[in-house]
Amino acid sequence: MTMRHHSGSEKISDLLNGLRRDIITMAEHSGHVGVALSCVDILAALYADVMNCTPATVESPERDRFVLSKGHGCMALYAVLARMGFIDRHVLATYGHNGSILAEHPIAGKVAGVECATGTLGHGLAIGAGMAAGIKLQGLGARVFVLLGDGECNEGSVWEAAALASSDRLDNLVAIVDCNSLQACGACDEVSPGVRLADCWRGFGWEVEEADGHDYRELVQALGRPAGAGKPRVVLCRTVKGRGVDFMEGDLEWHYRPVMGDDREKALKGLADA
Amino acid sequence: MRDAFFSELYNLFRHDRRVVFLTGDLGYKLFDQLREHDPARVINCGIREAGMVGYAAGMAKAGLLPFVYSITPFVTLRCLEQIKIDLCYNKANVVVVGVGGGFAYGPNGSTHHGVDDIGALSCLPQMKIWTPADSHEVRLCVREAASLDSPAYLRLGRNKEPHVFKSLESTPDISKPVVVQEGTDGTIVTCGFILHETLKAVAMLNQVGIHPAVVRIATLRPFPEEYLRTVVAGGGPFLTVEEHVATGGLGQETARIIAEEGRGNRFRMLAIPMKFPDACYDRETLLARSGLDAQGIATVYRQLWSAACCKAQ
């Protein structure tokens, strides 16, 4: 399979592997590597094969928009934006450094492709829904994609936004939940036992779909599927925190730990051999 | 002030298709005229103030000019982080409209009082704060919103505030402080609709031969720093009057400037005491209990003026 927007010559598996190597390299001085690795396949599918947004159309009112509501996953976004030509790949090396435009949570107005600043959880869906509403009011055809974490769905403001989007029949809005099952201090179903996310979204009037968040073809189909008229759509993506680096997968430790020294070498070697 | 807001918003709404009105399920019947004109641009977001502010931010990012409306504490402190991140940090030009600033909702109790809104919002970079003194100035604020280049907060009273100014021409430029009444005996600086009470106090002072100048500030943020420095340079006594707690308000900013200038101005600050009222009271009573009625303002100013005169001798 080749990508729609990218060079067309690079295999998807090579792209995804390369993105993971970029993330490991960026993560030398900061945490959240596990988060970036769980959502990077989703972002790649969006930018390479789903969204109508390229470096040439990034200012166009007709472009599809993406909001990274789980702003702490931004290493994945920066890596994808660099591979897709929105930003210079050399800028990735400045991630988290003094004076860099690539902060550890995205800053507004600095990075092409970053529609708004995020980092405080529970804000992105309302902003994305407002964008979708504004787009419809102006008679435009663009779509808005918002990526949330399953832990982030603890926030009450997520459900305020979910209700607003449903009430306003925003069928140009797609929420994506990175369901890696782990939040900052434990498993999601230990923190919120009894909460069934699919039922919650359905109860708020959304069209619900589930997908393997690491199966590229399945992601492209699920994310790109047109919505039923008058309903916003959510895709619950089953993912693994730390996916792609064997000693990080499913280990909460890597929500926080920078990837340094031997860990860095081991992770990069594992990806090179994959 | 509330009716003037809706009337002027309707004028803007008809001519500017960017304008969208969002309410947190308040303002029953007040926005009917807007809805009749264009129902698609009137959205009852439900009792979801945080969601409403984020929603408005997204709309602004898509090129619209949203006004979000609710009772003061609900549309400010309830969703403060959304105002900070979604509006200020993201530079989304949204007008946050709080009805019932200060003690306007008196008998409804502390849940409905808006006495800490200015202080909370003053911590946020980019945020413009309008504190109009009467209905005419409310209209001027709404007109200025059409060319906004930052988020803004519009602090309304309810609907009982008397006119202070004769017409919109009295204070055509709300961005600058205005001398409402000339005087030779020091200065009283105030913001918002407590100006009316302040002018009553000044009438009492005039009767005993004290003639302070009265300055009103309608655009409180950005703070009119240079103007106040100029007035402070005269060395005369200063009283600030605000229907807000002292923290983050007009008085503290003025005190800072007086301290920095070092001209030795005598200074007093009248603000709402930092405590919840102990029972149900109407606005007039709450003002009186806070020393912010005309009598209270006049009394403090007489003390201040006497002290300033003693110092001069």
Residues of A within 8 A of B89 (CB-CB) are 108, 117
Mean pLDDT of B121-144: 97
Asked whether residue A205 carries a pLDDT value surpassing 60, the answer given is yes
Whether residue A130 and residue B45 make contact (CB cut-off 8 A), yes or no, is no
Fold of B178-312: Rossmann fold (3.40.50)
Q: Chain A residue with minimal CA distance to B43?
A: A168
Mean pLDDT of B271-288: 97
- Domains of chain A from N-terminus onward: 12-273 (3.40.50.970)
A126 reaches B (C-beta below 8 A): yes
| pLDDT of amino acid A3 | 54
| pLDDT of amino acid A2 | 46
| pLDDT of amino acid A227 | 80
B196 burial (CB, 10 Å; 0-12 / 13-18 / 19+) is: middle
Residues of B within 8 A of A120 (CB-CB) are 81, 85
Host H or E run for residue A244 = none
Hey, is B135 helix, strand or coil?
helix
| pLDDT of amino acid A10 | 73
Query: Percent of chain B, pLDDT > 70?
Result: 99
| pLDDT of amino acid A206 | 97
Whether residue A126 and residue B89 make contact (CB cut-off 8 A), yes or no, is no
d(CA B210, CA A101) in angstroms, rounded, equals 58
| pLDDT of amino acid A182 | 93
Asked whether residue A7 carries a pLDDT value surpassing 50, the answer given is no
Query: Percent of chain B, pLDDT > 90?
Result: 95
Chain A interface disruption, residue of B22, B80, B85, B88, most A CBs within 10 A: B85
Q: Is the peptide bond preceding residue B107 cis, with omega within 30 degrees of 0?
A: no
Backbone angles phi, psi at A234, to 5 degrees: -125, 140
| pLDDT of amino acid B298 | 98
| pLDDT of amino acid A9 | 55
Contacts of B65 (CB under 8 A, 6+ apart): B16, B18, B19, B20, B93, B94, B95, B145, B146, B148
| pLDDT of amino acid B312 | 62
Token pair of B185 as six digits: 């005996």
B70 reaches A (C-beta below 8 A): no
How much is the mean pLDDT over chain A? 94
Hey, is A168 helix, strand or coil?
coil
A164-202 pLDDT per residue, tens: 999 999 999 999 999 999 999 999 999 999 999 999 999
d(CA A97, CA A246) in angstroms, rounded, equals 28
Whether residue B56 and residue A156 make contact (CB cut-off 8 A), yes or no, is no
A157 reaches B (C-beta below 8 A): yes
| A vs B: CB pairs below 8 A | 108
Host H or E run for residue B155 = strand B152-155
A105-148 pLDDT per residue, tens: 999 899 999 999 999 999 999 999 999 999 999 999 999 999 99
How much is the mean pLDDT over chain B? 96
Question: Where exactly does CATH 3.40.50.920 map onto chain B?
Answer: 178-312
Lowest mean pLDDT among A47-61, A63-77, A193-207, B158-172: B158-172
Is the reported ipTM for this assembly greater than 0.90?
A: yes
Residues of B within 8 A of A115 (CB-CB) are 61
Place of tokens 């403060």: B80
d(CA A265, CA B212) in angstroms, rounded, equals 75
HSE of A247, CA atoms in CB hemisphere, 13 A = 13
- Of A197 and B309, the one with more pLDDT: A197
Question: Where exactly does CATH 3.40.50.970 map onto chain B?
Answer: 2-155
Residues of A within 8 A of B41 (CB-CB) are 137
> What residues 61-100 of chain A have any CB closer than 8 A to a CB of chain B?
61
Strand order in the sheet with B128-130: B42-44, B19-23, B65-71, B95-99, B152-155, B128-130, B219-221
Whether residue B86 and residue A129 make contact (CB cut-off 8 A), yes or no, is no
| pLDDT of amino acid B169 | 86
| pLDDT of amino acid B171 | 85
B174-221 pLDDT per residue, tens: 999 999 999 999 999 999 999 999 999 999 999 999 999 999 999 999
> What residues 78-97 of chain B have any CB closer than 8 A to a CB of chain A?
81-82, 85-86, 89-91
A121 reaches B (C-beta below 8 A): no
d(CA A216, CA B40) in angstroms, rounded, equals 38
Chain B interface disruption, residue of A137, A144, A146, A172, most B CBs within 10 A: A137
Selection from B50, B49, B66, B47 nearest residue B58 by Cα: B66
B61 reaches A (C-beta below 8 A): yes
CA distance A152 to chain B (A): 15
d(CA B276, CA B269) in angstroms, rounded, equals 19
Asked whether residue B311 carries a pLDDT value surpassing 70, the answer given is no
Place of tokens 């006495």: B115
Whether residue B61 and residue A127 make contact (CB cut-off 8 A), yes or no, is yes
CA distance B15 to chain A (A): 15
d(CA B94, CA B79) in angstroms, rounded, equals 14
Fold of B2-155: Rossmann fold (3.40.50)
